[in-house]
Structure formats: C-alpha cells, structure tokens
Amino acid sequence: MNFKGYVAKDLDIFINPDEFAEWHELDGKPTLVVVEENSFDEFSSTMELENIMQGIFRGAITIFVKSSDFNKPDVGDRIRFDDNYYFVVGVSEEAGALKIDLASYES
C-alpha cells in the first residue's frame, strides 16, 4: 500500500461514527463530521477577527469532513450546520479531509 492508501485508511478511522465522528446536518444533508469547539483567541488571521468584530460574536467551531462528502466552501460562504447558520472564516484541504472554521455572529 502506498502513502495515499494509508492516509485514506486513517481518514476512514478518524471520520467514523464508532470513533470520532458524529452525524450532523450540513447544508441539509446528513454528513459524518468531527466537531471541535473553538475559543475566540484561536482565530489566526486579522481578516477573520475583523469579520467577526463587525457583528456580535456568538460562537465558533471547527469541523472536519471528508472532501468526498462535502464541496469545499469559500471563506465568507454561509453554511447551515444542524439548526444554526455559520460563516466560513477559514478552510483548508489536506489528505482527503476538509477543515472548515465556522463563526456565528449577528450585526
């Protein structure tokens, strides 16, 4: 097995309902997601902080999902996660997984 094969196998373990992932509704579709709660100080870029500061900060989460299960969003996109709407403040893709940083706020 090559390196990509090992990474894909590890991804199936990481994003697995018997291990770390849970079923959530992501833009209306049931999807296996690993959720990580964030604190305000974990945002890394000035732009992310400025976007959040334009409104009243309410919460932030980071989600991990297989790239094959969800299309990569753009920063600034609005995503419905379960019953709440969030704005994408960061996104990266690596080894078949998307890491999406989400923030909810209102102006």
Q: pTM (2 decimals)?
A: 0.76
pLDDT of residue 94: 87
Cβ neighbours, 10 Å, residue 67: 14
Distances (CA, A) of 26 to 6, 60, 69: 27, 15, 10
Q: Residue 23: enclosing H or E segment and its boundaries?
A: strand 22-26
Question: What is the mean predicted confidence (pLDDT) over 68-97?
Answer: 93
Confidence band for 41, pLDDT divided at 50, 70 and 90: very low
- Cα separation of 64 and 36, whole Å? 8
Cβ burial of 44 (10 Å; 0-12, 13-18, 19+) is: exposed
Check pLDDT > 50 for residue 98.
Answer: yes
